[in-house]
């Protein structure tokens, strides 16, 4: 390995894509067991590496020199091999500070809760202190001299103004969780989550739904990657590369989620989009059919719509965990708020707005097998489609024109 990333579990990592956007070198992922970390470091068979959970503190005793900032923070996430000597740095500090600035999350004079106690937590504490937070509390599952428990946070510190999550709660593949319920924190002015996969965790979505500035960790990852890359190569950090790397990776990882009425063209447009962009294509109706073990119309006639919706939700949850895909949803998938929430974590919701007169009633669709049923369905669902849409596309066009319009909106 010349350049790369070491950590415990790395299947969620976007670091290869980040570094590919920054410079032209091979960047590898290397998962290590705890007992493998020391031998790997001591062999020194690399030029530069990043370090992630749970080894940001583990690696420190094996380094020859550690920067003053990393030493003060108590965590190293970047190691550079210079003529056989290992130098440790913390580029997460730069990354987190850049992220907070980009999303307008101000810490000066604020009471800040930092969730978690690992290496990224130490960075968050250092950043909060540097940015002038009036009070910083580290929240842990276990009470210590330097931490408060989650129970204490939820009962004694609901006046916190900023929450920074540095725990893995809510991270792929267990994206359904959240470290805290922010509804009781009535003074919040900002929420930041170091998790970047999914792009928007439930914690971030909770905040955004309440009108609170919030962000996931992809910008932090991009910024620290730019700084780390400069250290690897011994050059001055070009901060203009941060936005480039972030935008490039975010666009590649966002799902295009097509919503709309039955027969509005979601599958046709989705298939063409996948062909044009090189993305995989998934249809939640197909996934649902696999779960049901029979055609959807047969299942609805036999077991009813409500039972079908339960199975459909399982299919949506599965599809929502993909990244960089095109996803066509069933016509009623967005009727459930939990489905919309799941799809929002990694996706941009695109409504194909085909007019009623261009939709078709079909005998193989028991919920819209005649014109009157179709009309009532359209009138009921249209406000839902519009409300949950990030992008609305005119569906009264050809498949090719609709696909082109989506690509233009998504800047693809």
197, 172 Cβ separation under 8 angstroms: yes
253, 14 Cβ separation under 8 angstroms: yes
Distance separating alpha carbons of residues 318 and 307, to the nearest angstrom: 18
Distance separating alpha carbons of residues 360 and 4, to the nearest angstrom: 53
Q: Of residues 56, 122, 254, 311, which has the active-site annotation?
A: 56
Q: Which runs of E-coded beta strand occur in 65-167?
A: 65-66, 78-82, 85-89, 111-115, 135-140, 147-149, 162-165
Active site residue 311: no
Distance separating alpha carbons of residues 181 and 203, to the nearest angstrom: 8
Cα three-residue angle 175-75-65, rounded to 5 degrees: 145
3 state SS of 198: coil
Distance separating alpha carbons of residues 391 and 255, to the nearest angstrom: 13
List beta partners, residue 88: 66, 79
Lay out the sheet containing 162-165: strands in order across. Answer: 147-149, 135-140, 111-115, 162-165, 190-193, 214-215
217, 99 Cβ separation under 8 angstroms: yes
3 state SS of 319: helix
Contacts of 132 (CB under 8 A, 6+ apart): 107, 108, 109
Residue whose tokens read 């999350």: 105
What burial class does residue 159 get, using C-beta atoms within 10 Å of its C-beta: 0-12 exposed, 13-18 middle, 19+ buried? exposed
Gap between the terminal Cα atoms of the chain: 33
Q: How far is CA 210 from CA 76, 182, 195, 201, 245, in A?
A: 35, 10, 20, 14, 29
Nearest 5°: phi and psi at 321? -80, -10
* Residue of 229, 230, 198, 243 whose CA lies nearest to 216: 198
Contacts of 302 (CB under 8 A, 6+ apart): none
Please count the other Cβ atoms lying within 10 Å of the Cβ belonging to residue 98: 21
260, 351 Cβ separation under 8 angstroms: yes
Annotated active-site positions, please? 56
């Amino acid at each position: 390995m010349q350049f790369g990333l070491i950590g415990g579990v790395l299947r969620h990592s976007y670091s290869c894509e980040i570094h590919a956007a920054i410079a032209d070198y091979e960047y590898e992922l290397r998962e290590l067991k705890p007992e493998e970390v020391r031998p790997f470091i001591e062999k020194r068979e690399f030029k530069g590496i990043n370090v992630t959970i749970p080894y940001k503190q583990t690696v420190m005793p094996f380094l020859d020199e550690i920067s003053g900032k990393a030493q003060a923070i108590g965590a190293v996430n970047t190691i550079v091999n210079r003529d056989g000597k290992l130098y440790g740095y913390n580029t997460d500090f730069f990354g987190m500070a850049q992220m907070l600035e980009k999303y307008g999350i101000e810490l000066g004079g604020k009471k800040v809760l930092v969730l978690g106690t690992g290496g990224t937590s130490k960075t968050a504490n250092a950043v909060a202190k540097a940015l002038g937070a009036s009070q910083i509390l580290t929240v842990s599952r276990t009470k210590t001299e330097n931490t408060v428990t989650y129970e204490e946070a939820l009962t004694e510190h609901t006046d916190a103004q900023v929450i920074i999550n540095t725990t893995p709660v809510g991270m792929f593949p267990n994206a359904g969780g959240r470290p805290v319920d922010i509804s009781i924190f009535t003074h919040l002015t900002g929420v930041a989550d170091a998790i970047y996969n999914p792009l928007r965790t439930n914690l971030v979505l909770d905040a955004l739904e309440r009108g609170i500035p919030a962000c996931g960790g992809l910008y932090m990852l991009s910024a620290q990657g730019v700084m780390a890359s400069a250290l690897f190569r011994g050059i001055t950090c070009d901060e203009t590369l941060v936005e480039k790397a972030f935008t490039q990776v975010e666009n590649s990882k966002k799902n295009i989620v097509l919503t709309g009425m039955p027969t509005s063209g979601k599958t046709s447009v989705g298939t063409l989009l996948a062909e044009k962009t090189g993305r995989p294509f998934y249809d939640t109706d197909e996934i649902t059919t696999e779960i049901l073990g029979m055609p959807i119309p047969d299942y609805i006639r036999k077991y009813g719509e409500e039972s079908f919706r339960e199975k459909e939700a399982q299919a949506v949850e599965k599809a929502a965990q993909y990244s960089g895909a095109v996803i066509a949803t069933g016509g009623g998938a967005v009727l459930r708020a939990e489905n919309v929430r799941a799809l929002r974590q990694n996706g941009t919701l695109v409504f194909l707005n085909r007019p009623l007169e261009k939709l078709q009633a079909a005998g193989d669709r028991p919920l819209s097998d005649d014109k009157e049923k179709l009309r009532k369905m359209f009138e009921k669902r249209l406000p839902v489609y519009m409300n949950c849409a990030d992008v609305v596309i005119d569906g009264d066009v050809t498949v090719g024109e609709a696909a082109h319009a989506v690509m233009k909106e998504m800047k693809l």
